[in-house]
Amino acid sequence: MENLIALLIAAPLLGAAVLLCGGRRLDAVGHWLGTLLAGLSFVLGVVLFTDMLGKAAGQRAVTQHLFSWIPVAGFQADVTFRLDQLSMTFVLLITGVGSLIHLYSVGYMEHDERRRRFFGYLNLFLAAMLLLVLADNYLLLYVGWEGVGLASYLLIGFWQHKPSAATAAKKAFLVNRVGDMGLSIAIMLMFTTFGTFAFVPVLHSADSAGEGKLTAIGLMLLLAACGKSAQVPLQSWLGDAMEGPTPVSALIHAATMVTAGVYLIVRSGAIFNAAPDAQLVVTVVGAVTLLFGAIVGCAKDDIKKALAGSTMSQIGYMVLAAGLGPIGYIFAIMHLVTHGFFKAGLFLGAGSVMHGMNDEVDMRRYGGLRTYMPVTFVTFGLGYLAIIGFPGLSGFFSKDKIIEAAFAKGGAEGWILGGAALLGAAITAYYMTRVMIMTFFGEKRWQPDEQGNEPHPHESPGVMTIPMIVLAVGSVFAGGFFSIGDRFVHWLEPVTGHAEGNSPVSAMTVTVATLVLLVVGAGIAYAQYGRRPVLAVAPRGSLLTRAARRDLLQDDFNHVVLVRGGEHLTRSLVYVDHTLVDGVVNGTAASVGGLSGRLRRLQNGFARSYAVSMFGGAAVLVALTLLMRAV
Amino acid sequence: MNPVNYLYLAALLFTIGATGVLIRRNAIVVFMCIELMLNACNLAFVTFSRMHGNLDGQIIAFFTMVVAAAEVVVGLAIIVSLFRTRHSASVDDASLMKL
Amino acid sequence: MTTQLAAYTTSTGEAFQFWVLATVAVIGALCTVFMKKAVHSALCLAGTMIVLAVFYLANGAYFLGIVQIVVYTGAIMMLFLFVVMLVGVTAADSLRETIKGQRWLALLCGVGFGVLLLGGIANASLKDFDGIGKANAGGNVEGLAALIFTRYVFAFEITGALLITAAVGAMVLTHRERTERARTQRELSEQRVREGKHVPPLPAPGVYARHNAVDIAGLLPDGTPSELTVNKTLRDRGQIRDVSDEALSDLKALEQRAAERLERAEDERPTHKRTEEASK
């Protein structure tokens, strides 16, 4: 049965190869082929899942050795896949959500000439992402890591004719590079410390290595996670990544790829457990990012960018939970899965809205859409309720657990982290309510564009609404399904381990506090946007609003610190290069040239001059001979 | 008189010849100066032969003469062909280098 | 005892001969270096070589002495003179130095080298002289022959090869292969006519009643010398003699002498100067 693991990756990889190399003759069927292969991968995942359920909890992890990649003495790199409960969770999420989004894209990209290529990229992404989560060692994981980076780059810049999309793709790629550097350094450190980079030996012997080394590895892994998961300080690319087609935003930049960082941290849990300093940094990064993303999400008028800020914030929750250690790992993954459902659903809803509104993204041009696109309204609304943590829906269960775990960290840290998580929940309620109201309620605010085409909002075709409905069902029931009887905890416990935290506040208190803050946040948003008409042009707003509109000045910060700093560094390096290095080189050349110029005069072509030197040499020889005799 | 004086004379003639090689431009005169140097050497060899009481020095001098004859033949041929192409017997004119 | 003494000191006659002839040799050598004309240098060198031949004889190298005269002064120096003639016997070299610092460096090296050499000889403790008498006992030529054909026979054979090579080399260097047929006189004249540059025969050289005068250019009607009239070889050597102003200077000298003699008469006739200027 474990031989099917490779097929999981092979199916979408084959799709990518066929679609990207097949040429125009596949234009007619390419999208269905891609969707079919994604679905095949999902079916295989389900088959493996049922197989896994049939085994005892301890024997569920299976491996498949495909071939030896780099068989060198002292350096063994294998292409081996490892399917355990953690990977299985991801496989189902990736292939399931991936298949739905493939299906959705069939409708969404219907009028795009390069649809076949788009599906090729999507399949490529699926293959790379599956490789990432199925890898049995860090090196193979790195291959998948780079593969999803490539797919992300290609898909963000899919509409490459738009300079903004091309720039955004480049930005994402560059920022991800920084994180990738961290991952490669972490792998090298692992190799020098443990002599291998396969998960099992590394994680089992993690305790034996020194804490300093583990902290270093952990921080480098965190850097990698920050790059891939858009965490502070490498968060700047995610907002711009919304330049890509909306299904891409849903699949890659909401549900799956951006959660790879969380996967990495949870997978490397043994290392972080033994390095508390690194864990602390992880929680701090998570807490900062969840507030950061939430604040940015509040100020954006672009629906996708608001959702992007929300994604950042939700992943911040996951990273925070992952940083809490065994008390948080499982909840991080649980939130990841539920988030995968509702955020993908929200993005698909946003895409549906844009699809009906002539690709308008400004929420100030929406309004009152609930009557025009009821299915979208309902599914989006369910996703909305899930993300803000409405009782009984997915987000309620997973987010609540994270907040509880944050308090359970204990001490001042616990209070600070828990407080941040609570505050984040309130802000989440605020910005999501804002999105909801601005999009679906109130008066219609759209206007004809420059060509005089007034948008005619309409419901999307079935091929798009079906995935939205499925995801909405997931958003509603997944959390409850996972939580009843702690199913998800028991499922993942053999892989990640689990510990119950001692929270200083009771679970009920946390739940009540969350709900109160939820109501407060949603109420403020209703007061601001529901009671009053939404202005067509954004008001100037407070200093914080203006900063948040500019992504809390992250780009300005990067520009001032990194770009300017880099420019100055380069300029000074160029100066040093010109004066010092070139000076030495040119000086040497000039002095050699000058010396040669003088020596050249000796080489004047006159035989008599040469004869003089010969004769002088002979005289010197005679003198030396006499001197030697004398001595 | 001590026969060493012949050696002094040989040294003097050799030096004069060498200086002549350096000073004169006319290839023929340069050649003559070389001959002068060779002859100075020969005088030294003959003197050595006398000092040591054997004939080896004279043999060497004899061979020197033969070699000098061969050298003159080739050297003068070179000068003649040089003169033909350059219309000058000056050794400086043979320099084609730019200064 | 007597041989030993003979080795240490030479006879007074030889000493006298040495001092006289050594002076001549050094002077000859210096003249070789410093004479302006190559032919003079060659003659001075020949003199020096004859003096050296005498020294060889005095040192008991009878064979070498004769060979020196016959081969060196007789053959080699004549070869030199032959080439000097070929190159131009009248050409005088300028003794101006053209390479900067060459002369000073040459003198410095020369003086330094000479001083070192002389000092080296003076320093050497040359006390044990054997004299040539015993070696020459069986006759100088026989002794040399015995050595050449026994101990030095290989060197001798190789010398033969060297001489052959030198002879061939000299031939190769001076021989010019004709790559095309020499043009006949008819063809040359036809070419002259075709080119139309100079159809009649070249003009004859000028005539000056002092020598055969083939090196004197004929004068054109306007008084300037025409190089065409002189043989190409002489032209190439730069041996054209221009005597056009020689006649004028002769005339001037004649006039001056006449004027000196007729000084008084000149005083009486003050207009003479004016007529002279007019004649110019």
Q: What is the domain-level CATH number for residue C40?
A: 1.20.120.1200
Cα atoms in the Cβ-side hemisphere of radius 13 Å centred on C81: 13
Q: Grade residue B44 by pLDDT with cuts at 50, 70 and 90.
A: very high
> Is A523 found in the same domain as A569?
no
Q: Is the pLDDT of residue A197 over 70?
A: yes
For residues C247 and A30, the model is more confident at: A30
Cβ pair A251, A97 in contact under 8 A: yes
**Any B CB within 8 A of A622 CB:** no
A582 is written with which tokens? 């070139």
pLDDT in tens, A476-488: 999 888 888 888 8
Q: What is the model's pLDDT at position C1?
A: 37
- How many Å apart are CA A398 and CA A313, to the nearest integer? 14
Which one has a higher pLDDT value, B88 or A483? A483
**Region A553-581: what's the mean pLDDT?**
86
What confidence score (pLDDT) does residue A556 get?
82
Contact between C237 and B70 using a beta-carbon 8 Å cutoff:
no
Angstroms from B7 CA to nearest CA on chain A: 16
Residue range of the domain that includes C221: 203-261
Chain A interface includes B92 (CB < 8 A): yes
Contact list, A622 vs chain C (CB under 8 Å): 113, 116-117, 120
Amino acid C84: pLDDT: 87
Question: CB C109 to CB A616 under 8 A?
Answer: yes
Q: What is the CATH number of domain B4-86?
A: 1.10.287.3510
Taking contacts as CB-CB distances below 8 angstroms, the residues of chain A near C123 are: 626, 629
Q: Is residue C266 part of a domain?
A: no
Contact C63, B58 (CB under 8 A): yes
User: Inter-chain contact C116–A606, Cβ cutoff 8 Å?
Assistant: no
Q: Does residue A435 form part of some domain?
A: yes
In a domain, C80, yes or no: yes
What's the mean pLDDT in A544-560? 80
Does A316 score more than 80 pLDDT?
Answer: yes
Work out the burial of residue C100: count CB atoms within 10 Å of its CB; fewer than 13 is exposed, 13-18 middle, 19 or more buried.
exposed
CB-CB neighbours of C276 under 10 Å: 12
For residue C68, is it within any domain? yes
Judge whether A99 lies within some domain: no
Q: Please say whether the beta carbons of A263 and A133 come within 8 A.
A: yes
* Contact yes or no for C227/C240 (Cβ under 8 A): yes
Q: Which residues of A fall within a CB distance of 8 Å from C99?
A: 604, 606, 608-609
N-terminal to C-terminal alpha carbon distance within chain C: 85
Neighbours of A392 (CB within 10 A): 13
Query: In which residue ranges of chain C is pLDDT below 50?
Result: 1-7, 272-278, 280
A207-225 per-position pLDDT tens digit: 888 889 999 999 999 999 9
Classify the C-alpha dihedral C234-C237-C243-C246 as positive or negative. negative
Which residue in A175, A309, A279, A286 sits closest to A231, CA to CA? Answer: A286
Q: Are residues A503 and A366 in the same domain?
A: yes
Q: What is the mean pLDDT of chain A?
A: 89
Residue A552 lies in a domain: no
Q: Which of the listed residues C87, C120, C146 is the one where a domain comes to its end? A: C87
Its ipTM equals 0.92
Q: Which of A90, A238, A98, A132 is nearest to A176 (CA)?
A: A238
User: What is the rounded CA–CA span in Å between residue A76 and residue A266?
Assistant: 24
Q: What is the pLDDT of residue C267?
A: 57
Higher local confidence (pLDDT), C89 or B41:
B41
Q: Does residue C280 lie in a domain region?
A: no
Specify whether the backbone of A359 is left (phi greater than 0), alpha (psi in -120 to 50) or beta: left
What share of chain A in percent tops pLDDT 70? 100
For residue A551, being part of any structural domain is answered with no
| Domain of residue A527, residue span | 275-539
Residues A361, A455 contacting (CB under 8 angstroms): no
CA angle, B80 as apex, B75 and B86 as ends, to 5°? 120
Q: How close, in Å, is residue C251 to chain A by CA atoms? A: 46
Q: Tell me the C-alpha to C-alpha distance, in Å, between residue A346 and each of A191, A258, A523, C60.
A: 41, 16, 21, 126
List C-alpha distances in Å: A486 to A408, A410, A483, A553. 18, 23, 5, 41
In the predicted model, what is the mean pLDDT of residues A557-561? 83
Phi, psi of C225 (to 5 degrees): -75, 145
Mean pLDDT of the region A541-565: 81
- The pLDDT of residue A364 is above 70: yes
Please give the backbone phi and psi of residue A68, each rounded to the nearest 5 degrees, phi first.
Answer: -80, 125
The pLDDT of residue A34: 92
Q: Which residues of C touch B66 (CB under 8 A)?
A: 159, 162-163
Of B35, B54, B92, the CB nearest to C98: B92
Q: Are C55 and C15 in contact (CB under 8 A)?
A: no
Q: How many domains does the structure of chain C reveal?
A: 2
- Token couple for A406: 């944050």
pLDDT of residue A369: 86
Domain termination site, one of C87, C104, C139 = C87
What token pair was written down for A604?
A: 């004047």
Question: Does A444 lie in the same domain as A301?
Answer: yes
Q: What is the mean pLDDT of residues A610-630?
A: 88
Decide if B92 and A603 are in contact by the 8 Å CB cutoff.
Answer: no
A475 and A587, same domain (yes or no):
no
Distance from CA of C205 to the nearest CA of B (A): 22
Contact by Cβ (8 Å): A190, A202: yes
Rounded Cα distance between A239 and A307, Å, is 9
Contacts of B22 in chain A (CB under 8 A): 608, 611-612, 615
The predicted model scores a pTM of 0.63
Rounded to whole angstroms, the Cα distance separating A260 from A266 reads 10
Side-chain-facing half-sphere of A203: CA atoms under 13 Å: 18
**Residue type at position A57:** A
- Is any Cβ of chain A less than 8 angstroms from the Cβ of B74? no
> Is the pLDDT confidence value at A175 over 70?
yes
Domain ranges for chain B, please list them.
4-86
Q: How far is C153 from chain B (nearest CA, A)?
A: 11
Helix A374-388 and helix A507-525: axis angle, to 10°?
A: 140
